[in-house]
């Protein structure tokens, strides 16, 4: 059975980083979700070049933590996409869309992967920090941040077990 991967990120740098991972889901059904409609043609063109079939693309509301109503709209859009498509795996490189997708996906039994932004060399991203308990796999390229997150995840796990 072919796995379905939901690859989700905000537009801009998060999206660029996510696209660099495309070879990892060759052979899977892929659902791309981002906050910019303008990426559609490139996603389809690349999918054809990679012989990926059954590729889907969704554009959701762009929002940040100060735009509460837009965040709520984004949450419902992402929830609907996940409920309708039931991905086996959800992977994100960041920001609000990825945060919501991992939280919802984890509740529905999907495997979840968070790759913290390459730009966050000094501290963890806010979304990455908050989604850590919903990520089956949480990665960063910065060793000192990986160590900090490992400690936080272990502390959170210990609290949840009590």
User: What's the average model confidence in pLDDT over 5-25?
Assistant: 93
- Give the burial class of 125: count Cβ atoms within 10 A of its Cβ; 0-12 exposed, 13-18 middle, 19 or more buried: buried
Q: What is the pLDDT of residue 2?
A: 87
Q: Which residues pair with 29 in a beta bridge?
A: 4
Confidence of residue 157 (pLDDT cuts 50, 70, 90): very low
Q: What is the pLDDT of residue 1?
A: 77
Residues in the chain: 162
Token pair belonging to 139: 């990665």
Which phi and psi angles does 14 have, rounded to 5°?
-60, -45
Average pLDDT, the chain: 83
Give, rounded to a whole angstrom, the gap between the first and last alpha carbons of the chain: 38
The percent of residues above 90 in pLDDT, for the chain, comes to 56
Contact 124, 149 (CB under 8 A): yes
Q: What is the pLDDT of residue 162?
A: 38
Q: What is the pLDDT of residue 115?
A: 87
Confidence of residue 153 (pLDDT cuts 50, 70, 90): very low
pLDDT digits (tens, 9 = 90+) for 52-105: 878 999 999 999 889 999 999 999 999 999 999 999 999 999 889 999 999 999
Within 13 Å, how many C-alpha atoms sit on residue 52's CB side? Answer: 24
Residue with the two structure tokens 């609000």:
96
Give me the torsion for CA of 43, 47, 97, 110, rounded to 10°.
170
Q: pTM of the prediction? A: 0.84
């Amino acid at each position: 059975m072919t796995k379905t991967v939901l690859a989700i990120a905000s537009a801009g740098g998060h999206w660029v980083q996510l696209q660099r991972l495309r070879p990892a889901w060759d052979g899977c059904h892929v659902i791309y979700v981002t906050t910019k409609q303008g990426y559609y043609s490139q996603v389809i063109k690349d999918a054809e070049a990679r012989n990926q079939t059954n590729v889907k693309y969704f554009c959701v509301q762009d929002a940040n933590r100060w735009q509460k109503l837009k965040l709520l709209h984004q949450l419902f859009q992402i929830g609907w996409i996940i409920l309708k498509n039931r991905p086996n795996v959800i992977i994100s490189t960041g920001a609000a869309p990825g945060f919501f997708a991992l939280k919802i996906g984890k509740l529905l039994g999907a495997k979840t992967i968070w790759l913290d932004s390459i730009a966050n060399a000094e501290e963890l991203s806010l979304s990455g920090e908050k989604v850590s308990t919903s990520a089956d796999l949480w990665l960063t390229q910065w060793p000192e941040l990986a160590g900090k997150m490992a400690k936080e995840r272990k502390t959170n796990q210990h609290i949840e077990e009590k």
